[in-house]
Amino acid sequence: MSELAIEVKGLSKSYEFYESPLDRLKHLLTGSRSANQVAFQALKNVSFNVYKGETIGVVGQNGSGKSTLLHLLVGTHRPSRGKVTVHGRIAALLELGSGFDPEFTGRENVYMNGQVLGLSRSDIDARFDEIVAFAELGLFMDRPVKTYSSGMFVRLAFSVAIHTDPEVLVIDESLAVGDEAFQRKCIAQIESFQERGGTLVFVSHSAATVLALCDRAILLDHGELLMDGTPKDVVAHYHKLLFTVPEQREALRQAILNGTAEQLAVERDLGTAPAPEFDPNLKPTSTIVYGSGAAEVMDPHITDTEGNRVNILNRGDTYVYTYRVAFRSAAYCVRAGNLFKTLSGVELGALISHPRGGGLSEVEAGTELVFAYPFRCVMQEGVYFANAGIVGQVNGEETFLHRIVDAVMFRVRTESPSDKRVEGVIDFSVNGMPVSITRIHGVRS
C-alpha cells in the first residue's frame, strides 16, 4: 500500500455566531450558551486519506465546506472534533493574499512567507531569483503589496508556495484570478510537481481542471462527504446534484451518499421517475447582454430534430440551436453566430452563418430573421452554455448589433455511463466505431 500523506479522521468544524461581543465573551469565560447563540456546522464527520504522490480534487457548491476543509488541512483553523495528520512539509495557496502583510513590499513578503513555510533565510536567498522570475512582477517586488492587483497577488503567492519544495501542496480556487497565460504557467508547474511525486489537494469549480489533473476527487455537500471516487464519476454526480430539480435533490443526495445514485438514474430511465428532456430549472444566471441596439436577438433555444425544445442533451445526438433576430434599423454585412462554452468558460467552438468578410449585404429595418444551426452533440457529460449574437457594419466598422453571453444553459448526459473509453471534454469518436487495433510483430494481445 502507498505511504500516507494526509489522514483525516472524523473531522468536524462548527462556528459559533453571537448576537453581540458580550455574548461571545460570556461564552468564552463560562462556556454557557445564550438564547441568541447559533452554531453553524461547516463540516460533519469527514474522513478520508490522501496518499503520497496523489492528486485529489475537492468539489461542491458554495457553502459545502471546501475552504473550511483546506484550512483544517493546513492548520490555520482548528477542528471542533476529529483529527488531521499531515506527513511532510506542506504549503498552501488559499484565499487571496493570505499570509501576506499588505504594508510590506513583495520582497519582504517573500522572506516572511517563506520562513512561515519552513525555509531558512539562506534557503530563500538561494531561491529568490527563481521566485521573482516566475512571478514576473519586475519593479513591483519593491512596492507594498497593497498596491498589487488580485492577479499580482496570486503570481507572488503561487511562486513562493511552489518554490518552497513542499511535499504536500494545498490550493484553493486562487488560480482562476490570473490571466490565461499565467494560469497555464501555474498548471505546468503543478504538472512538474506531480511528476516529482508531490501530493496535491485543491478546490476547483472547473470540471475540466479536475478531470485533467486529479487521480481522485471527493464531493462535499452541506459539510458532508457524499462521494469519494474517480474524478469522472464525482464530477458527473456533482453536476447531477447541482442541476437536479429541487423536489428530487434530497433523494439524489441520499442516493449519492449511499452509493445508489446509478440505480436511481436507471429507475428514472425506466419510467418510475423519468428524467425530463427539458428542465425548466436549468436557467443561466450569468447572462450578459450588449450591442448597438440596431437588432435584438430573441428566444434562443435548442430543439431536437423533431422540433421539441430540450436542454438535456444526449451525447452523439443531433440538435438545432435556434433564435430570432428583429432588426430595429437597417443593417449591412450581417452575420450571425454562437459560441459553445464549458462551465468554467473554456470556449469549445462556434457555429457561424457566414465567414468573416461575408454576410447578408443589407437587411431592412423591421425585418425578422430566424437562424437555425444544426449540430452534433460531441461534448462529454457536463453542463455547458451557448452565446447568441448578430454582427453588422456600423459606419463602415463591424460591431455587435446585439449579443447575449450565456444565452442558453444545457446539460449533456451519456447513454452509457460505464463506457470509459471517451475522456476529456469533447467526444472525438465517430458514430460509435471501435478503436482499430492492428497486431504487429512481437506484440501479444
Q: pLDDT for 71-83, tens place per residue?
A: 899 888 899 999 9
> Which long-range contacts does 135-140 make (Cβ < 8 Å, 24+ apart)?
135/106, 135/159, 136/182, 137/106, 140/106
CATH of the domain at 297: 2.70.50.60
Residues 229 and 305 in one domain: no
For residue 39, pLDDT over 50 is answered with yes
Residues 198 and 331 in one domain: no
Residues 185 and 318 in one domain: no
Query: Is residue 383 a contact partner of residue 375, using CB atoms and an 8 Å limit?
Result: no
Q: How confident is the model at residue 178 (pLDDT cuts 50, 70, 90)?
A: low
Q: Of residues 277 and 181, which shows the higher confidence score?
A: 277
DSSP 420-439: -S--SSB---STTPPPP---
Cβ count within 10 A of residue 415: 11
pTM, full prediction: 0.64
Choose the final residue of a domain: 214, 233, 252: 233
CB-facing half-sphere around the CA of 207: CA atoms within 13 A: 26
Cβ count within 10 A of residue 328: 15
Please list the residues that pair with 17 across neighbouring strands: 38
Instruction: Collect all residues with Cβ–Cβ distance below 8 Å to 197 and sequence separation of at least 6.
Output: 52, 53
Q: Is 57 exposed, middle or buried (0-12, 13-18, 19+ CB in 10 A)?
A: buried
Residues 298 and 149 in one domain: no
Q: How confident is the model at residue 294 (pLDDT cuts 50, 70, 90)?
A: very high
Confirm whether 89 is domain-assigned. yes
Confirm whether 26 is domain-assigned. yes
Q: pLDDT for 382-424, tens place per residue?
A: 789 999 999 998 777 889 999 999 999 998 876 544 444 455 6
Confirm whether 258 is domain-assigned. no
Cell of 89: 512539509
Q: Is 389 exposed, middle or buried (0-12, 13-18, 19+ CB in 10 A)?
A: buried
Confirm whether 274 is domain-assigned. no
Query: Is residue 162 a contact partner of residue 169, using CB atoms and an 8 Å limit?
Result: yes
Residue 303: domain span: 288-413
CATH of the domain at 139: 3.40.50.300
Q: pLDDT for 345-386, tens place per residue?
A: 778 888 888 887 788 999 999 999 999 999 989 888 778 999
Cell of 430: 465517430
> Distance (Å, rounded) from C-alpha 238 to C-alpha 225?
12
> Distance (Å, rounded) from C-alpha 221 to C-alpha 233?
16
Q: What is the DSSP letter of 79?
A: -
Choose the final residue of a domain: 233, 248, 280: 233
Q: For the chain, how many structural domains are there in total? A: 2
Q: Which residue has the cell 451519456?
A: 414
306: phi then psi, degrees, rounded to nearest 5: -100, 5
Q: pLDDT for 328-340, tens place per residue?
A: 999 999 999 999 9
Residues 168 and 64 in one domain: yes
Mean pLDDT for the chain overall: 82
> Distance (Å, rounded) from C-alpha 404 to C-alpha 42?
37
Residues 365 and 228 in one domain: no
Residues 199 and 300 in one domain: no
> Distance (Å, rounded) from C-alpha 72 to C-alpha 78?
6
Confirm whether 253 is domain-assigned. no
Residues 303 and 405 in one domain: yes
Residues 169 and 312 in one domain: no
Pairing type for strands 90-93 and 168-171 reads parallel
Q: What is the DSSP letter of 177?
A: G
For residue 169, pLDDT over 60 is answered with yes
Cell of 233: 464519476
Residues 304 and 215 in one domain: no
Give pLDDT, residue 343: 76
CB-facing half-sphere around the CA of 202: CA atoms within 13 A: 29
Confirm whether 153 is domain-assigned. yes
Buried b (16+ CB within 10 A) or exposed e, 77-94: bebbebebebeeebbbbb
> Distance (Å, rounded) from C-alpha 329 to C-alpha 296?
10
Give pLDDT, residue 55: 93
Confirm whether 49 is domain-assigned. yes
Residues 10 and 106 in one domain: yes
Q: How confident is the model at residue 35 (pLDDT cuts 50, 70, 90)?
A: low
Give pLDDT, residue 1: 46
> Distance (Å, rounded) from C-alpha 385 to C-alpha 343?
7
Query: Is residue 352 a contact partner of residue 416, using CB atoms and an 8 Å limit?
Result: no
Q: What 3-state DSSP class applies to 58? A: strand
Confirm whether 351 is domain-assigned. yes
Query: Is residue 320 a contact partner of residue 305, using CB atoms and an 8 Å limit?
Result: yes
Cell of 340: 459553445
Choose the final residue of a domain: 233, 257, 279: 233
For residue 440, pLDDT over 60 is answered with no
Q: How confident is the model at residue 95 (pLDDT cuts 50, 70, 90)?
A: low
Residues 215 and 323 in one domain: no
Q: Of residues 394 and 193, which shows the higher confidence score?
A: 193
